[in-house]
Amino acid sequence: MTDNKTSLSDLFGFDMNELSDILVEVNEKSRKLVQTFVEQQGQPGRIDQVEAASVGKSFQELASKLMADPNKLFDSQMSYWTDYWGLVQKSSLQLFGGMPAENPEEKPEEKPDKRFRHEAWRANPMFNFIKESYLLTSKAIRTAVQDIQGLDDKTRQKIEFYTGQYLDAIAPSNFLGTNPELLQLTVESRGENLLNGLKNLLEDLDRGPCQLQIQMTDMDAFEVGKDLAVTPGKVVYQNDLIELIQYAPATAEVHKRSLMIIPPWINKYYILDLREQNSMVRWMVEQGYTVFMISWANPDAALKDIGFEDYMLEGPVTALKEIERATGQREVNVIGYCMGGTLLASVTAYLTARGEGDRIHSGTYMASLIDFSDPGDIGVFLDEEQITAFEDKMSEQGYLDGCAMSNSFSMLRANDLVWAYVINNYLKGATPVPFDILFWNSDATNMPAKMHSFYLRNMYLHDRLREPGGITLDNVPIDIGTIKSPAYFISTREDHIALWQATYKGALLHKGDVRFVLGAAGHVAGIVNPPPRKKYGHWTNDQLPDTASKWLEDAEFHQSSWWLNWVEWNAPYAGEKVPARKPGGSAADQLDDAPGCYVTNRLDRPESGVCYMPNALL
């Protein structure tokens, strides 16, 4: 007969005495690090307090609805305990009767849960029980919440979102004592993983400017202008808000009409110009386009009074004039990505109202919302109380810091963008690997107070852009329904930021010829999809029915990248071939080499923001 400790060791698959000794040793070595961590935590800001109050109010309403129907609550509890008792019986046979552990069959439409990939989650009966009891409980809680009647849509969305956040946070994979992979690593390294994890945590706290920004990749592995954003070109114009980059041609002849790209100002433009093998800019240049890119300034308090209207006038409206000056061509094909697409719709309607709609010969909307009636989970953060809290915070410093935006978007995919890195960095003690897209994702930007307030209220909160005359810019009422230029909408099926069903509604608002295409993957990977990689395909449908579901039902799947489909679509609008153009036309109009200086401003390195151009055309 074995003793109790030996029995526990057998159950968990580890020498519990050795593990205990290791944890005592780790505790002694890490006491100073833990103390430093506690001292640096600080107090929650007003936005956190308002968010917590809003969440608390929603769950109070949930509790009242649950108590209002005790029979349904009783039925849910009985169903849960019946299932749980079945799991206990099966697990007892596995633990003490020698029955092999088995996972329930996964449904073909469901993706494998990456949190439980380690073999011990299946092979070890104890950890299999821990995993299965968590999954069973999570499913029961989610089902109970989803079945509650009488909640308004906003309250239901908040409850379901934060319930998911809570359930993701308490997953057994997130804790040392219930994660077999972490326990094995701790024994093998004699706790070195935990000490390294605490060091990683302190480094993240010290890095700034965020209170805690979990490092997703090696932020020293790349340098913008050296490793990323390296397509040759020149900055040909600069004002306080933008630098306009014209890229050097890669072909002897180019299409007559240039291509202007409006990237989102919530991130930096070089997501479209990463490395040579995955740069959309380089690929477009190689297709014979004269490509211009707007590079937005990373604003500080000096730009606090810059509004959405200024972004339109000093951004694409000014850029169009500079492109005409540089090329002699009035008509330009324009691409807008994410918020850049929202701005593209606004500026096209604005120019149309002024009788200048021909300037934008065609518009391409990449994962862009125009109709904001279904903003997805990000709508959880956007009600009157929380937007007011954002505005109060922004008024103190003149802008919303990039950390707040970055953390909000990470919460939308907490398992992939938060907990996976907590485990890797802090519990495994590993160093994040270099990854260009995650480097870009971590290179956050600020939002000017006036602009961001306008955007949150008029787009997300009140959904005014889709209404004829719903918003006015530069004294011009905006009406998306007046846009008659050809439009290409590319959205992605797994996008959690701009739901493709919502972007489809925006396509229906246009009155010109519209092609809607749906790419595989998500908001970034589905857009940055170079043809040679042959990684993600796309769906097409020549019709534009009233609903997104009907569109997808009749759509045809293609294995190739949507980039090839876009080139075929844009060919009639590109114009005949002309001799390749030199960026800026003359040395006097070449202010700096691409990528310029606005894009190199990093929040975690204030010294990187120095940007001085004595030749700037201000």
338 classed as catalytic: yes
Q: 210, 338, 403, 597: which one is catalytic?
A: 338
Helix intervals (H) in 477-588: 500-509, 548-553, 562-574
Instruction: Please state, as a whole number, how many other Cβ atoms lie within 10 Å of the Cβ of residue 118.
Output: 16
Q: Report the C-alpha gap between 328 and 324 in whole angstroms.
A: 5
> Which residues partner with 488 through β-bridges?
364, 515
Q: Which residues, listed in sequence order, are joined to residue 364 by a DSSP beta bridge?
A: 335, 488
Look at the alpha carbons of 276, 600, 302, 215 in this order and tell me if their dihedral is positive or negative: positive
Other Cβ atoms within 10 Å of 31 Cβ, number: 10
CB count in 10 Å sphere of residue 130: 21
What are the CA-CA distances from residue 87 to residues 105, 123, 180, 581, 589 (Å)?
15, 16, 20, 70, 72
Q: Using CA of residue 173, residue 425, residue 221, residue 340, what is the dihedral sign?
A: positive
CB count within 10 Å of CB 160 equals 19
- Rounded to the nearest 10 degrees, the angle between the axes of helix 46-68 and helix 384-397 is 170
Say which residues have a Cβ less than 8 Å from residue 209's Cβ, sequence separation at least 6.
Answer: 401, 403, 603, 604
Secondary structure (3-state) at 491? strand
Whether residue 595 is preceded by a cis peptide bond, meaning omega within 30 degrees of 0, is yes
The answer, yes or no, to whether the previous bond of 486 is cis (omega within 30 of 0) is no
3-state secondary structure 439-469: HHHHCCCCEEHHHHHHHHHHHHHCCCCCCCC
Q: Tell me, what amino acid is at 554?
A: D
State the Cα–Cα distance between residues 151 and 112, nearest whole angstrom: 32
Instruction: Indicate which residues carry an active-site annotation.
Output: 338
